[in-house]
C-alpha cells in the first residue's frame, strides 16, 4: 500500500478516481519503474483492485475481456517494453469495439530536454514515438506534459473511449503520477452519452418507412456492433414489432436470444447454421443492425448480400441514397419499433425451410474422443449461467454451431482474431462475473500463445473450465494453406497446470482420450470451484468441422486473388 500524504491529491489519485467512477473495479497491471508510483496511487483507491498479469500482451487481453463483461476496462503498463506488447490487446479492443483505457508510465519530464538516453527506449532522446504509435490504435491518445494538464487530458481520453466504444491511451510521466492535482468534477461530464439529433432521428425513421414500403420479405441481420452499442433490448423490441426473421452474423452470436421464435440461425454464407443463408437470400429487404462485412464473415467475399441494404450502425443510419449522422442505434430501433408494420412472411417461409433437429450420436464411454463428441458434451454443459469463449481455429466453428440456452453468453474475437486471446480474456471477464460459469474452447496452438495466464486463474482462484482441443497443430491454417509450419511441439498440458499450481495452487489438469474420460473430467470441472480446470481433449489431426474446410477454402481463394493492376504481358 502506498503511504498517502494526508491532504495531498495527485495525478495518480485523479486517474484512480476517474477509473472507479466509470465503473472499473479491477485494473490489470504489469509493473515497471516508469509506472510504480502510479500503481501505488491506483492501489490506494478503495474501489479498485489491482490484478497482476504475467506479461503485457496478456494484460491487455485480460482488460479486453474485462471490457466485454464490464463495459470499460483499464490496463496499466510500463514504457515501450510493456506498452508495445499491450498495443496488441489494444488493437483487439479497437477492432472489437471495446473501451479499454491503456495507461503507460513514461520517462521523467526533465529527460527529453536534457537529451538523456534512457532504458526501455529506442536509445534516442525523442520520447514521443510511443504516443505517436498509440494514436493509430486508439480513438484518443494523450500524453500528460504537466500535472496541471492531467484532469483535462484524462477526462478527454476516457470520455472519447466511452462514447466511441474504442480504446484510448493515457501516458503519465513517472515524476507526475505523484504530483499535486485538483480533484475531479462531476463524472457526468465524462460519462453522459450524446443523444441522437432529433431531426436526424425523425428523418431516418421516415426513410426506413420508405425503404420498407412495398417490400414483402424483410429480414433483420444482426452484427457484432449491436451488442457493443448496448442495443440488445431495443433490437428485441424492434424485431418483435417487425415480426420477421432475424439472422445473426457469427460475431454477433448471443446478441439475440436463440430460443426466440424469430431466430433463424447464424448467417455465415455457405457455413451458416439452421437455414439462415436461405432466409437471407430469399429476402427482398435487409435491415442490417451493427453488421460487419469482412472477408471472414462473408466467407472470402462469397456471401456479400446483393440487395440494397438499410444499415443501422452505432451512431448513424444509411440507406441506398441517404445517410443520417448522430442517430444512436438504440434510440433509432426503439423509435422505429413504434412505426413499422408487422410482417411475418419470412417466418411462414422459415417454418418450411427450417431443418429438422440433427440426429446426434452419443459415443460409447470407451470410444476414442472425437470433435463431434466434444461438441455434444459441451452442448450439455451450457446453462443460463454459461459464458462461452471460443478462440480462433476450429473452436470458432464448433462454438458457432452450439445452441445457446436463454441467458447463456458467447464471446468471440473474430475481427482481430488473435490466437490465444481466450485465455487472458476469459480470465479478465470471469473476475467481473464470478456468478457465471466461464467455459473456454481453445486449440492447442492458440493455448501456447498465452498459456501463462492460467497461472493468474490459479492465483486468483477463478474457476474457469478450459477445454483444450489438442489436434496437434494449426488445423485452421492447414485448411487455408498447408505447410510444415502448421505443425507444433506437443505439450503435456495437464502437467503444465501442475507446474502453475506449484505448492499453493488448486487448479486441475485432466486428460481426456475417450468419451467417458471427457464426461468424467467435465463432472469434476463442474464441482471444482477453487481454481481453473483444464481438460486436454485429444482428437485426430484431421478431425475438424466441415464448416472449417469449406470456409478455409474460400478464404484461401480470397487471399490468393492476383494483383488487379497486372500488365497485359504478365
Ligand atoms: O483448431 P485449430 O487446430 O485450428 O486451432 P489451434 O491449434 O489453436 O491453431 C490455430 C492456428 C492459427 C494461426 C497460427 N490460426 N490463426 N493463426 C494465425 C495467427 C498467428 N498469430 C496470431 C497472434 N494470431 C493468428 N490468428
Ligand atoms: Mg490445433
270-285 pLDDT, tens per residue? 999 999 999 999 999 9
Q: Are 503 and 476 in contact (CB under 8 A)?
A: no
Q: Are 28 and 54 in contact (CB under 8 A)?
A: no
pTM of the prediction?
0.97
Nearest ligand for residue 485 CA: 1
Q: Quote the longest CA-to-CA distance of the chain.
A: 78
Q: Which of 64, 88, 417, 419 to mutate for ligand 1's pocket (most ligand atoms within 8 Å of CB)?
A: 419
Ligand 1 interacting residues, C-beta cut-off 6 A: 392-395, 417-419, 443-446, 469, 471, 473-477
465-495 pLDDT, tens per residue? 999 999 999 998 888 888 999 999 999 999 9
C-alpha cell at 114: 536534457
Nearest ligand for residue 394 CA: 1
Q: Are 222 and 247 in contact (CB under 8 A)?
A: yes
Q: Which of 477, 547, 548 to mutate for ligand 1's pocket (most ligand atoms within 8 Å of CB)?
A: 477
Q: Is 133 buried (19+), middle (13-18) or exposed (0-12) by CB count in 10 A?
A: middle
Residue 520, annotated as binding a ligand: no
50-100 pLDDT, tens per residue? 999 999 999 999 999 999 999 999 999 999 999 999 999 999 999 999 999
pLDDT at 110: 96
C-alpha cell at 25: 473495479
pLDDT at 549: 94
Nearest Cα neighbor of 255 from 208, 297, 218, 223 is 223
Q: 108: which residues sit within 8 A by CB, 6+ positions away?
A: 173, 174, 175
pLDDT at 7: 75
Q: Compute the distance from residue 489 Cα to the ligand 1 centre, in Å.
A: 14
pLDDT at 1: 46
The DSSP H or E segment spanning 221 is strand 218-222
Question: Does residue 561 sit in helix, strand or coil?
Answer: coil
pLDDT at 5: 61
pLDDT at 329 over 60: yes
Residue 473, annotated as binding a ligand: yes
C-alpha cell at 174: 513517472
Strands 309-312 and 316-319: antiparallel
Amino acid at each position: 500500500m502506498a503511504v498517502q500524504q494526508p491532504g495531498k491529491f495527485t495525478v495518480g489519485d485523479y486517474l484512480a478516481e476517474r477509473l472507479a467512477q466509470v465503473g472499473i473495479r479491477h485494473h490489470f497491471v504489469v509493473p515497471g519503474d516508469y509506472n510504480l508510483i502510479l500503481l501505488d496511487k491506483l492501489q490506494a483507491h478503495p474501489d479498485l483492485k489491482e490484478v497482476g498479469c504475467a506479461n503485457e500482451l496478456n494484460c491487455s487481453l485480460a482488460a479486453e475481456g474485462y471490457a466485454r463483461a464490464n463495459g470499460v476496462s483499464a490496463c496499466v503498463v510500463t514504457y515501450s517494453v510493456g506498452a508495445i506488447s499491450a498495443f496488441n490487446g489494444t488493437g483487439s479492443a479497437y477492432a472489437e469495439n471495446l473501451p479499454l483505457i491503456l495507461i503507460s508510465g513514461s520517462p521523467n519530464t526533465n529527460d527529453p530536454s536534457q537529451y538523456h538516453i534512457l532504458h526501455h527506449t529506442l536509445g534516442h532522446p525523442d520520447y514521443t514515438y510511443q504516443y505517436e504509435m498509440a494514436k493509430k490504435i486508439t480513438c484518443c491518445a494523450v500524453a500528460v506534459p504537466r500535472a496541471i494538464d492531467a484532469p483535462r487530458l484524462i477526462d478527454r481520453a476516457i470520455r472519447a473511449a466511452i462514447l466511441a466504444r474504442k480504446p484510448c491511451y493515457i501516458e503519465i510521466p513517472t515524476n507526475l503520477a505523484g504530483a499535486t492535482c485538483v480533484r475531479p468534477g462531476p463524472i457526468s461530464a465524462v460519462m453522459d452519452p450524446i443523444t441522437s439529433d432529433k431531426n436526424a432521428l425523425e428523418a431516418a425513421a421516415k426513410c426506413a418507412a420508405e425503404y420498407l414500403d412495398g417490400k414483402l420479405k424483410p429480414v433483420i441481420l444482426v452484427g457484432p456492433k449491436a451488442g457493443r452499442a448496448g442495443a440488445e433490448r431495443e433490437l428485441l423490441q424492434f424485431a418483435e414489432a417487425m415480426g420477421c426473421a432475424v439472422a445473426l452474423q457469427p460475431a454477433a452470436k448471443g446478441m439475440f436470444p436463440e430460443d426466440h421464435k424469430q431466430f433463424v440461425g447464424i448467417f455465415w454464407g455457405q457455413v451458416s447454421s439452421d437455414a439462415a443463408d436461405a432466409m437471407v437470400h430469399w429476402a427482398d429487404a435487409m435491415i442490417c443492425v451493427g453488421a460487419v462485412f469482412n472477408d471472414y464473415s462473408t466467407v472470402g467475399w462469397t456471401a456479400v448480400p446483393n440487395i440494397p441494404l438499410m444499415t443501422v450502425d452505432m451512431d448513424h443510419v444509411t440507406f441506398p441514397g441517404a445517410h443520417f449522422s448522430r442517430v444512436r442505434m438504440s434510440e433509432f430501433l426503439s423509435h422505429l419499433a413504434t412505426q413499422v408494420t408487422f410482417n411475418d412472411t419470412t417466418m411462414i417461409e422459415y417454418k418450411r425451410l427450417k431443418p429438422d433437429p440433427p440426429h446426434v450420436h452419443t459415443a460409447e464411454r470407451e470410444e476414442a474422443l472425437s470433435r463431434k463428441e466434444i461438441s455434444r458434451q459441451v452442448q450439455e454443459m451450457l446453462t443460463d449461467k454459461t459464458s462461452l469463449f471460443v478462440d480462433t481455429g476450429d473452436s470458432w466453428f464448433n462454438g458457432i454451431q452450439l445452441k445457446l440456452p436463454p441467458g447463456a453468453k458467447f464471446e468471440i474475437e473474430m475481427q482481430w482474431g488473435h490466437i490465444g486471446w481466450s485465455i487472458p480474456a476469459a480470465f479478465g471477464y470471469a473476475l467481473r462475473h464470478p456468478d457465471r460459469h466461464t467455459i473456454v474452447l481453445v486449440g492447442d496452438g492458440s493455448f501456447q500463445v498465452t498459456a501463462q495466464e492460467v497461472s493468474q486463474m490459479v492465483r486468483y482462484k477463478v474457476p474457469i473450465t478450459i477445454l483444450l482441443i489438442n489436434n496437434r497443430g494449426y488445423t485452421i491454417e492447414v485448411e487455408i494453406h498447408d505447410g510444415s509450419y502448421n505443425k507444433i511441439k506437443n505439450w503435456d498440458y495437464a502437467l503444465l497446470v501442475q507446474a502453475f499450481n506449484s505448492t499453493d495452487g488448486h487448479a486441475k489438469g485432466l486428460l481426456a482420450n475417450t468419451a467417458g474420460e471427457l464426461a468424467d473430467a467435465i463432472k469434476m470441472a463442474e464441482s471444482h470451484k477453487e481454481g481453473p480446470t483444464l481438460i486436454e481433449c485429444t482428437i485426430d489431426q484431421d478431425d475438424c468441422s466441415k464448416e472449417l474446410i469449406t470456409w478455409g477454402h474460400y478464404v484461401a481463394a480470397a487471399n490468393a486473388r492476383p494483383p488487379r493492376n497486372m500488365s497485359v504481358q504478365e
